Amino acid sequence: MKVFSKQFFGRVVMILLIGADLLACQRGIPSQTSPPNAEPTQPPASEAPTPQPIQATNFNRAQMLRHLVTEVVVPTYGDFAKAAQTLRRSTVSFCQEPSEEHLQPAQDAWKDAVALWKRSESYRLGPAMAFDSSIDFWPTRPKLIRKALNDSHPITESFIEFAGTPAQGLPAIEFLLFLDNEESTAVIASYQNLETGKRRCEYLQGLAQHTAQKAQLVHERWQATKDQYLDEFDSEHAAVSAVVNQWIIALETSKNTKLTKPFEGNGRSPWPKSLEAWRSGHSLQNLRYNLQGFREVYLGKNGVSSGIGFDDYLQSLGSPLATQITQQLQVTEQALNAIPEPLAQSLKQHPQTVESAIQELKKLTILVKSDMTNLLSITVDFSDNDGD
């Protein structure tokens, strides 16, 4: 029979007491070796776990981004390149015979090209960024356009480049095709003028040719780099962040610069001539096309093409934000559609309807700029300092 020493029994008792303390801690019972009234200890604040952003476990962000590039972005820029060529040809026809018969197709071609470019504002990324100013410098600079018209140098490609971006692109073409929102007879007369009509036509055709060339370059470069676009970013998260930040820029610009600023004017009355495309009466359509572009890239849809979009990404996170953004987008579109044409008149004649559209657009912007960026842990690069 083995004899156990007192030392051995002492060690056993000590082990049992320690085990009891550990079990009591797990059950929330005060330790036998702690003071009866001791407060449970908490880890220091510095040791508290850092909240982690919600992450989808089975969502393929790379697949979503590739779909957006190949099925939304590239096709839109391809359509824009075609529309710009149609605009170029229509200006040639008009200048060969300045008449109502040829002016209307040229004006319509301009509207078609602008519609596609405005749709792309929500995904103005990659190769398109290098050509944005030369295609769509806004606000229009009439003084620089008139300076180019009054210049004596031949209107060549180099002359247009030297004239600078404020005297190039779609806004400058609008100035030449619509004047200051005047009747077609006045526009036609400006091209029939024996002293200035010829140069005006040369400049119009030169601008249309220049814009068509830039549009073609945007499409070709996107087409050539679409499969490597994600390689430009350090991570998928960085690519997602770039897209969302471009949304924010487009939404803030629509809300503040294109609608609120003209509506509030000088504080006493609206300022219609600060609207985008007021000369053509296309201001409201531009806003609608901006939202259409946001819808396309958010839902991953372009015309008949339908696929994975950011709404699917948010749904995979189990967030109600996917539905909230979709619903608010629809409400905002309805609010813009409720404004009577032209917007320049509605600023004064239908202020409540315009104000309602501004508020709905603000709600949509907040959902993206605040709620969505917080959910996805995205840093907002754009700030308008208006409290959104």
The three-state secondary structure class of 298 is: helix
CB proximity list for 302: less than 8 A, separation 6 or greater: 71, 72, 75, 76, 296
Within a domain: residue 301? yes
Within a domain: residue 44? no
Within a domain: residue 337? yes
Residue 307 has what pLDDT? Answer: 83
CB proximity list for 69: less than 8 A, separation 6 or greater: 222, 226, 229
Within a domain: residue 43? no
- Regarding whether 238 and 209 lie in a shared domain, the answer is no
**pLDDT tens per residue across span 52-86:** 445 555 899 999 999 999 999 999 999 999 999 99
- Regarding whether 243 and 335 lie in a shared domain, the answer is yes
**pLDDT tens per residue across span 23-39:** 343 434 344 333 333 33
The whole-angstrom separation of Cα 192 and Cα 371 is 56
Q: Quick one: pLDDT band at residue 383, thresholds 50, 70, 90?
A: low
**pLDDT tens per residue across span 147-205:** 999 999 999 999 999 999 999 999 999 999 999 988 999 999 999 998 999 999 999 99
- Regarding whether 167 and 313 lie in a shared domain, the answer is no
- Regarding whether 245 and 130 lie in a shared domain, the answer is no
Average of per-residue pLDDT across 330-341: 98
- CATH number for the domain harbouring residue 118: 1.20.1420.20
Within a domain: residue 51? no
Within a domain: residue 60? no
- Regarding whether 77 and 144 lie in a shared domain, the answer is yes
**Of 230, 257, 290, which closes a domain?**
230
- Regarding whether 318 and 181 lie in a shared domain, the answer is no
Asked if the model's pLDDT at residue 7 lies above 50, the reply is no
Tabulate helix, strand, coil % of the chain (nearest 5). 70, 0, 30
Residue 224 has what pLDDT? Answer: 95
Within a domain: residue 349? yes
- Regarding whether 317 and 242 lie in a shared domain, the answer is yes
- Regarding whether 217 and 348 lie in a shared domain, the answer is no
- Regarding whether 272 and 216 lie in a shared domain, the answer is no
- Regarding whether 317 and 214 lie in a shared domain, the answer is no
Three-state secondary structure readout of 46-85: HHCCCCCCCCCCCCCHHHHHHHHHHHHHHHHHHHHHHHHH
| DSSP code, position 267 | S
**Of 215, 230, 245, which closes a domain?**
230
For the chain, how many structural domains are there in total? 2
- Regarding whether 192 and 325 lie in a shared domain, the answer is no
Within a domain: residue 40? no
Q: Greater confidence, 375 or 31? A: 375
Report the predicted TM-score, pTM, of the whole model to 2 decimal places: 0.84
- Regarding whether 245 and 184 lie in a shared domain, the answer is no
**Of 197, 230, 263, which closes a domain?**
230
Domain span at residue 352?
A: 233-388
